[in-house]
Structure 1
């Protein structure tokens, strides 16, 4: 029987692995809703600020914060991938292979989502708000 500390540690490791795999996708969704959504809804209403904050500040936060979360997920996936590769050399365990594959998927997906957030953020921040 496992101790409560070991069970918590295993659960935390599983949650961190899922964050490493899905963190970039969720951050990209937040980026879409905040950066692009704020621009569209605010401009459609005829305003240039949200609760007293200039629209460009809100959009900037909608780009920078999701990019930082995606970068954290990318670093975590890279660390998990290195650890599982090292552990696979010492023992043959299908769970390590599965974890390694999840980490590799997280690496690739987070790199893709980070580039999408940066490119989309550049477009939203370079173009003047409420243009067109």
Structure 2
């Protein structure tokens, strides 16, 4: 059975999202939730772009968390899909990448949760 080129292109993008989506979300979380809040607090601001620092940190944790969970779900679905397909080089590669994405996305979700706990426990701006 052959698939249409547009379907294969969409599958490539989904596979790429499954592999790097969680890691990019975690990096965004680290950059935004920690760096921006630290800079704002160090120069004496109690808000970031008009949003209170604590609420900004919460948003900068929840939004990347949603992206990481979505990447984890996509990786899971792709892995299940490629377990039932006939063996071939393309299917083995896709299954490997889906499993790699599962591990990376699970780690990213865990690290975002740890960051959320730290944001909840530590007082924003001292």
Aligned-residue CA RMSD (Å)? 1.5
**TM-score (norm. length: structure 2):** 0.94
String of CA shifts for 1:81-111, please: whole Å, max 9, x gaps: 0000011xxx221110110000001111101
| DSSP-derived class of the 1:43 partner | helix
| Partner residue in 1 for 2:116 | 121
Q: Which residue of 1 aligns with 2:106?
A: 111
Residue in structure 2 matching 1:93, options 80, 88, 98:
88
**Alpha-carbon offset, residue 6 of structure 1:** 2.1
Tell me the equivalent position of 2:47. Answer: 49
Task: Summarize deviations over 1:40-75 as a string: whole Å, max 9, x none.
Answer: 111011011012210011100110000110000000
Q: Any runs of at least 4 consecutive aligned residues in structure 1 with deviations exceeding 6 A, and if so which? A: none
Q: In the TM superposition, what are the counterparts of 1:69-80 in structure 2 within 5 Å?
A: 69-80=67-78
TM-score (norm: length of structure 1): 0.90
Unaligned runs of 5+ in 1: none
Structure (1 or 2) with the larger CA radius of gyration: 1
